[in-house]
């Protein structure tokens, strides 16, 4: 019998196909990943994740940012990635911001990550 390790809570098995590639811990990494995707991949992600955001938020709201289970933290990261994808999917219709400075010259400055994964 083969078992497949899951990265997300069981309630979000439908999002598991994104877990291996679309979870990134920093805004800069999420931004770089988005720019490297095709608009078709971004649309697929957007159309799959967006309808699940209420459930995603309800689930992660059960936990403190200071002691979040690893599977919930990964789910939160998928939600953060959606925030990167929404403008590309809804407004720009391309992975990068049109008529802006070159992506490699753009420096994202973010606060320290408040998410602390709880030890099992």
Q: Decide if 114 is inside a domain.
A: no
Q: Decide if 39 is inside a domain.
A: yes
Q: Alpha-carbon distance 76 to 89, whole Å?
A: 20
- Position of tokens 């990134």? 24
Q: pLDDT tens digits for 6-43?
A: 999 999 999 999 999 999 999 989 999 999 999 999 99
Q: Decide if 28 is inside a domain.
A: yes
10 Å CB burial of residue 92 (0-12, 13-18, 19+) is: middle
Query: Per-residue confidence at 97, pLDDT binned at 50, 70, 90?
Result: confident
Number of independent structural domains in the chain: 1
What is the reported pTM?
0.86
Q: Which domain holds residue 60?
A: 24-91
Q: Alpha-carbon distance 39 to 113, whole Å?
A: 28
Q: Decide if 11 is inside a domain.
A: no
Note the pLDDT of residue 119.
65
The dihedral of CA 97, 38, 21, 80: what is its sign? positive
Contact partners, residue 77, CB within 8 Å, separation at least 6: 23, 24, 25
Q: Decide if 64 is inside a domain.
A: yes
Q: Alpha-carbon distance 70 to 25, whole Å?
A: 12
């Amino acid at each position: 019998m083969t078992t497949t390790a899951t990265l997300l809570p069981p309630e979000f098995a439908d999002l598991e196909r994104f877990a291996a590639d679309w979870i990134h811990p920093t805004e800069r990494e999420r931004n770089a990943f988005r720019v490297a995707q095709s608009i078709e991949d971004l649309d697929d992600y957007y159309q799959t994740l967006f309808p699940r955001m209420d459930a995603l938020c309800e689930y992660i709201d059960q936990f403190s940012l200071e002691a979040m289970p690893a599977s919930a933290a990964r789910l939160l990261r998928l939600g953060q990635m959606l925030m990167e994808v929404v403008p590309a999917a809804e407004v720009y219709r391309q992975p990068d911001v049109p008529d802006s400075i070159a992506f490699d010259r753009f420096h994202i400055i973010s606060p320290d990550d408040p998410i602390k994964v709880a030890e099992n």
